Amino acid sequence: MNAHPENSAGSHAVTPPRAAASNPAIKPPVEPKRSAYAIEHVVANPDETPVTATDSRVDGEKPVSLWAGAWRQLRRKPTFIIAALLILLAVLVAAFPQLFWTEDPSKAQCLLENSNGKSAPGHPLGYTFQGCDVYSRVIAGTRASLIVGLFSTLGVVVLGGAIGALAGYFGGWLDFILSRLGDIFFALPLILGAIVMFQLPMFRDGRNAWTIVLILVVLGWPSVARIMRGAVVEVRGSDYVTSARSLGVSPLGILYKHVLPNALAPVIVIATISLGTFIVAESTLSYLGIGLPPTTASWGNDISDGRNSFRSNPWPVFWPGLALSLTVLSFIMLGDALRDALDPKSRKK
């Protein structure tokens, strides 16, 4: 017979609190700590906030596309409006110069008696060292500079965009070959490469605006190809591309109908900024004497002609330089505004 019935439970006996306190080997149970940053969960009353109120929408609202949203933001930006007005003025001057000049520089006779002359009625900007009207030459030079800039940009977008789209969509060995080819051309500086190419007989003997366009396209396409390749790589994994592929659409059809329309936004931005770069490149080449022929009215030729008499009469250099600077600045401002508007992350809600 057991003299100690309290021990009959064996290992299942409960230690009294006093024994636990007196025995240091036995630790009392630890209560869970309450956080000082406890979050109180509140459940909304469904009678006060019904589902129909929170999920209501206007049936007449149409989804806003990327370009519609960009236009809404652009028309509220003063920089875009100013840049667009300046570009529109430059295009009008280039397309209809007879509406702005006082005489046709190609037909007007330059008189040495008017050399470095001041402004006069019909000649508000004075005369050059050779007696030519500065105002009429600045107006006439707008066409040559814009032709080179616009067609160079168009050629670069078509060539570089096609190469970048093919490399980014198909990948593999085609991407490797086209990317390495772009690296070779990308390593050539634009102005230095154009100077070297103009020493070739095929370009040296027939200098005109179209030869400059061809050279600038050959040297300028890698930057657009890189931008297009990155945009296509980002778009090709989208759900709508996968759906089109599962429906049996050909790879070129997917690239043309689904990938390119959604990858053009960054290319348009870089093309707008590059247009100003190509205008500067044409003026630089003409200033160096290897661009447009001296008989062609351009801002680069006018700046080059006026440099010899710059100390005595700086205005023949100042006015074409101002026209060049404003035009290039307008395209850069337009490109910056387009970049902010076409980037969803930078939009203000």
Summarize the confidence of residues 34-43 as an average pLDDT.
55
How many CB atoms within 10 Å of residue 255?
Answer: 21
Q: How confident is the model at residue 341 (pLDDT cuts 50, 70, 90)?
A: confident
Determine the distance from the C-alpha atom of residue 163 to the mean position of all C-alpha atoms in its chain, rounded to a whole number. Answer: 18
Q: Is 116 left (phi over 0), alpha (psi -120 to 50) or beta?
A: left
> Looking at residue 6, what is its pLDDT?
46
- The CA distance from 260 to 264, in Å, is 6
pLDDT of 112 strictly over 60: yes
Whether 140 and 297 have beta carbons less than 8 Å apart is answered as: yes
Give the CATH fold of the 87-346 domain. MetI-like fold (1.10.3720)
Rounded distance between C-alpha atoms, residue 344 and residue 276, angstroms: 25
Q: Output the pLDDT for position 228.
A: 92
Q: How many whole angstroms separate alpha carbon 279 and alpha carbon 31?
A: 77
pTM exceeding the 0.85 threshold for the entire prediction: no
Q: Is a pLDDT exceeding 70 seen at residue 15?
A: no
Rg of the chain's alpha carbons, rounded to an integer? 36
Check residue 4 and give its pLDDT.
47
Residue 328's pLDDT is what? 93
Residue 3 has pLDDT above 50, yes or no: no
Distances (CA, A) of 82 to 71, 76, 330: 15, 11, 8
pLDDT of 256 over the 90 cut? no
Q: What is the pLDDT of residue 53?
A: 53
Quick: pLDDT tens for 269-305.
899 989 999 999 999 999 988 888 888 888 999 999 8
